[in-house]
Amino acid sequence: MSLNVTVIGLGSMGYGMALSCLRAGYRVLGQDVAPERAAQFVSDGGVAEPMDNPDAVVVVVLNAQQTESVLFGADGAVPHLRKGTVVISCATVPPDFAREMEQRCAEHGVYYLDAPISGGSVKAAAGKLSVMASGNAEAFSAAEPILDATAETVFRLGDAAGAGSAMKAVNQLLAGVHIAAMAEAMTFGMTQGITPQRFLDVISKCAGTSWMLENRAPHIVAGDYTPHSQVNIWPKDLGIVLDTAEATGFDAPITQAALGQYRKAVEIGLGHEDDAAVAKVYAHASGLDLPGEDA
């Protein structure tokens, strides 16, 4: 099938998804606020000229504000789309925002798939993301070739926008808490003479392990904070969780505590480091030397 696809947002996730669409044989226009990324994508095979009638618009920007802007802002895409086009919205956003976008797209005859993604940049480049998707049957049907090209697992979570973003928020609650809890446990262990390497060796085989522990603790052991996923993600995503929770009077004290640690990490200048750097908040507070810091 020949398909015209616009991908808005060529960060590590969006770039990988755009490449996956190219590999599937689609014509793909990549757009980004950074002109050098858009130019790079053209050199990788993306189309160079504007695309009049895309079949699908994949939005892989940072947050709700950027999503609203690229869809309905001054140069927003949606008013120019023909009826039946699908917007596949991949940013982590509040469920209510997803419902609002679905409705505003519908006013233009455009379908909206609430489709937050997870898996990281490596899986994005390999076309093996997980997608937590919800939307009406027409949105799923129109999005199917894009999902086939970019995702290994598509969770179909309901026939209206909001459910996908709600599940993403649930996942982010746990992922964010688990990274910070790993940092808390590892540095607590250091106060008792347990090295980060020993912590990883033992706890990854015990009931205290988590997906995030096994993924992030090696970064601390290696002293490598190359940002696969930045600290800055977590004040945003846990903020969405807590705003959404607050709207229904739900109290989430563990999420609150984890958010507090990420905010401290941002305050001491770690926002652009890998999120495992939240361990430095604990280490600095207790005078511990993490690997790579005691040289």
How many residues form the binding site for a copy of itself (CB under 8 A)? 68
Shortest spacing between CB 195 and a copy of itself, in angstroms: 11
Asked if residue 290 lies in contact with residue 283, where contact means CB atoms within 8 angstroms, the answer is yes
Residue 95 engages a copy of itself in binding (rule: CB under 8 A): yes
Shortest spacing between CB 140 and a copy of itself, in angstroms: 17
Residue 207 engages a copy of itself in binding (rule: CB under 8 A): yes
Asked if residue 251 lies in contact with residue 241, where contact means CB atoms within 8 angstroms, the answer is no
Nearer to a copy of itself, 40 or 204 (CB): 204
Residue 132 engages a copy of itself in binding (rule: CB under 8 A): yes
Residue 291 engages a copy of itself in binding (rule: CB under 8 A): no
Using the contact rule CB under 8 A, the part of the chain among 38-46, 80-88, 107-115, 188-196 near a copy of itself is 188-196
- Only one residue has tokens 């690229």, namely 70
Exactly one of 62, 106, 126, 245 binds a copy of itself (CB under 8 A); that residue is: 245
State both tokens at 10.
């060529």
Residue 168 is a catalytic residue? yes
Residue 258 engages a copy of itself in binding (rule: CB under 8 A): yes
Tell me which amino acid residue 200 is.
Answer: L
Shortest spacing between CB 125 and a copy of itself, in angstroms: 17
Instruction: Report residue 227: phi and psi, to 5°.
Output: -75, 85
- What angle do the packed helices 163-191 and 253-267 form, to 10 degrees? 70
Shortest spacing between CB 120 and a copy of itself, in angstroms: 8
Exactly one of 67, 85, 150, 187 binds a copy of itself (CB under 8 A); that residue is: 187
Shortest spacing between CB 189 and a copy of itself, in angstroms: 4
Spatial separation of the C-alpha atoms in residues 213 and 64, rounded to whole Å = 28
Using the contact rule CB under 8 A, the part of the chain among 6-14, 19-27, 81-89, 176-184 near a copy of itself is 176-184
- From the centroid of its chain, how far is CA 248? 24
State both tokens at 89.
């919205």
Judge residue 117's burial from the number of C-beta atoms within 10 Å of its C-beta, 0-12 exposed, 13-18 middle, 19 or more buried.
buried
278-282 long-range contacts, CB within 8 A, separation 24+: 278/179, 278/180, 278/183, 278/231, 278/234, 279/182, 279/183, 279/186, 279/187, 279/220, 281/183, 282/183, 282/184, 282/187, 282/188
Residue 286 engages a copy of itself in binding (rule: CB under 8 A): yes
Spatial separation of the C-alpha atoms in residues 195 and 117, rounded to whole Å = 34
From 83, 168, 264, 280, active-site residue:
168
Residue 101 engages a copy of itself in binding (rule: CB under 8 A): no
**Residues binding a copy of itself (CB under 8 A):** 95, 118-119, 130, 132, 153, 155, 157-158, 162-163, 166-167, 169-175, 177-178, 180-182, 184-189, 191-194, 198-199, 202-203, 205-213, 215, 241, 244-245, 248-258, 260-261, 282, 285-286
Active centre residues (catalytic): 168
